[in-house]
Amino acid sequence: MNKFSELNYSRLNYKQTKEKLLNYKKEILNASSYEDIRRAWLSMREYIQYLSYIEEMAYIRYLCGVSYNFYKEEVRIQNLEDPQIMVIQNECDRLLINSPYVKEFELEFGHMIVNQLKNNSMLLNTSTSSLQAEEARLRMEYTSLLSSGQDREALSEQFYDILDNLITVRSEMANALGYKSYIEMAYKLQGRFDYGETEIATFRTQIQKLISPACKELRNSITLQYPDTDVRDAKGLIAVLKDMFSDISQGSREYINYIFEHELFDITDRQFKRNNIFSCCMLPYKKAPFIIGAYHGNGSEANYLIHEFGHGYAFYTAARSQKLYEYHRASPSVNEIHSKAMEHFAYPYLDTFMGKQKNNYVRNHLFQSLDNLPYRCAIDEFEHALYKDIKLTRIQRCELWAEIERKYMSWRITDLQAIKQGTYWPNQSHLFTHPFYYIEYNIAQINVFEFYERSKHNYEQAWQDYTNLCETGGSTNYFNLLKVGNLSNPFASNTVSMVCTPILEELYSLV
Ligand SMILES: [Zn+2]
C-alpha cells in the first residue's frame, strides 16, 4: 500500500457494483456444495470490503477537510447508494444462513458470525432502505453544520430540528422492522447479545449511587483543566508517540512503523476539517487504521490521540490474527477498552510530553474518567426516554433532561429560562450520529480501570492480557472476551465499587 495521501480515488460505478453483487448472489444461490457457497460468499465479502475501502478513503478526506467540496459530494452520493448495496449484501448473507451448509460454515468460522448475519438480516431490508438513506442524510446535515465554523449556540434551532427528525426516522425504521421501539432495534444494532436494558439500568444505578456523590465531593477541590504539553506542535507529538509505541513491545513497534510508513494519520488542523475531531477510521481490504485528530498542544488532545491510536492498535492486531473482517472489531463495550486502556498504558511515558505537568495530567485524566461516568449515564437515560415516548414536546424534552441531570449531576445548575425556551438539552454529538453508543464507554471504563491497576503492579502482564484481548477482536462473545483479558463482569453487583475504590483513593491522594 502507498501512503494514504497518494492513494487514488475515483467514484465507484454503482451500477456495475450492483450487477457484480447480484452475480455473487446468483452463485451463492446456485451453490451445490459447501466449498462453492463458501468461495462465493467470501468473494462477495471481499468485494464489499474493497467498496468500503474506496468509500472510507473519501470519507476520511471529507472529515479532514481535504478537497472538502469534492469529497463532501462523494460522501453524499455514498449515503444515497449504500443502503441499496447493503440490501443485496444482506440477501447474500440470508441465502448463506438459510442454506443447508450453515452448520459447516459455523464449524469453520464460529458462532459469532452466524449470530451477526442473522442479526443483520433482521435489521435490514428493502422496506427500510429509504429510511436509512434519510437517516444518513440527516447525520450528514448535522456533521456539515458542525464543520461550518458557525457558533453552536446560533445553530441550536437547526440542531434541534435534526434531532427531532432523527427520532422520527429511526422510530419509523424500528416500526417497519417489527420492533417495539427504536430502543430494541438500537440494542441489536450495537450487537448487544449478552446484556440488555435491565443490566444497563442496574449499572447506571450503581454509578449514580457510588460515583455521583464522589464526583460531587471531588469537584470541590479539582477543576478539570488539562495542562498544556511540552510538545507544541503535531509533528513533535507524533514523534513522541512513535517512540512510546516503539518501546512498549515488539507488536506495538510493528504497528507504529506501519502507521508511519503509510502516513496513516492526520492530526493537523485545517479549514473545513471537522471541529474537535478525534477518530480512528478503518480501511478494510488494506487492514489499515487511520487516525484523525486536531492537535494544538493541550494535554487533553494528546490523551484523545492516544485513545485513537489504541483503537488503531486493536484493529491492526485483530486484522492480522482473525480471518474474517467481521472479527477485526468487537462490540463497542470492548472496542472502547482497547482505546481507553491505551490512555493508561501511556502513563510511564508521560515525562516525554508532559514533563513537570505529569501529575497534573494524571489528576485531570483520572478525574475526567470518573466524572464522565455520571454524565454518560445521564445521556443514556435521556436517550431511552426520547425513544420511549417520541411524541414529547420540545419543552417536555428539556424538562426531562433537567430532571435526569439533577439525578446524576446534582452540582449542575438548571437554567429555567432555557427550559422555557426549549434550548435546555445536551449538546452531545452521539445523540445524532451514534445513538445508544455512549453508555458503552462507561461499561468499558470499568474494565479499563482494572487494566490500569494491573499495569501499576505488573505492566508486562497487563499489556499481554490487553494484547490478547485486542488480537481476539470480535471472534467470540462479550463474556468470553472479558475472560481473554482476565477482566471482571461490569454488571456484577460488586464490580463498580471494587474497581473504582482504588481509583478514588489515588485521586484523593493527588488532590
Ligand atoms: Zn473510542
- CA–centroid distance, 35 to ligand 1, in Å, is 38
> Measured between alpha carbons, how far is residue 485 from residues 308, 445, 448, 489, 492 in Å?
20, 14, 11, 11, 17
Whether 228 contacts 355, CB under 8 Å: no
The alpha carbon of 93 and the centre of ligand 1 are apart by a number of angstroms equal to 29
8: CA distance to ligand 1 center in Å?
28
In the reported structure, the alpha carbon of residue 430 is separated from the centroid of ligand 1 by a whole-number distance in angstroms of 12
Q: Is 329 exposed, middle or buried (0-12, 13-18, 19+ CB in 10 A)?
A: buried
Is the backbone of residue 366 left (phi > 0), alpha (psi -120 to 50) or beta? Answer: alpha
- Ligand 1 centre to CA of 492 (Å) is 24
At 265 the three-state DSSP class reads strand
Q: How far is the CA of 321 from the centre of ligand 1 (A)?
A: 21
Position 499 scores a pLDDT of 97
**Residue 494: how many CB atoms within 10 A of its CB?**
9
Identify the pLDDT of residue 152.
75
If you count them, how many residues does the chain have? 511
Pairing between β-strand 288-292 and β-strand 279-283 as defined by DSSP bridges? antiparallel
Ligand 1: centre distance to CA 308 (Å): 6
Q: Which amino acid is at 329?
A: R
Distance 441 CA to ligand 1 centre (A): 8
The pLDDT, as a whole number, for residue 119 is 87
Query: Ligand 1 centroid vs 336 CA: distance in angstroms?
Result: 5
Question: Could you tell me the pTM of the whole model?
Answer: 0.91
Task: Specify the pLDDT at position 359.
Answer: 94
Separation of CA 332 and ligand 1 centre (Å): 8
AA letter at 189: L
SS3 state at 13 = coil
Number of CB atoms found within 10 A of residue 98's CB: 10
Distance from Cα 34 to the centre of ligand 1, integer Å: 38
What are 179's three cell numbers?
420492533
Collect all residues with Cβ–Cβ distance below 8 Å to 16 and sequence separation of at least 6: none
CA of 340 to the centre of ligand 1 (A): 7
Distance from the CA of 393 to the center of ligand 1, in angstroms? 32
Give the type of residue at 37.
I
Grid cell for residue 329 = 472489531
CB atoms inside a 10 Å sphere around CB 225: 10
Residues of the chain with pLDDT under 50: none
Element (H, E) at 292: strand 288-292
What's the first-to-final CA gap in the chain, in angstroms? 49
- Beta-carbon contacts of 447 under 8 Å, excluding residues fewer than 6 positions away, are 337, 341, 482, 485, 487, 488, 490, 499
Could you give the C-alpha distances from 295 to 228, 244, 265, 267, 391, in angstroms and in order? 11, 18, 12, 6, 41
CA of 241 to the centre of ligand 1 (A): 17
> What is the whole-number distance in angstroms between the Cα of residue 474 and the centre of ligand 1?
16
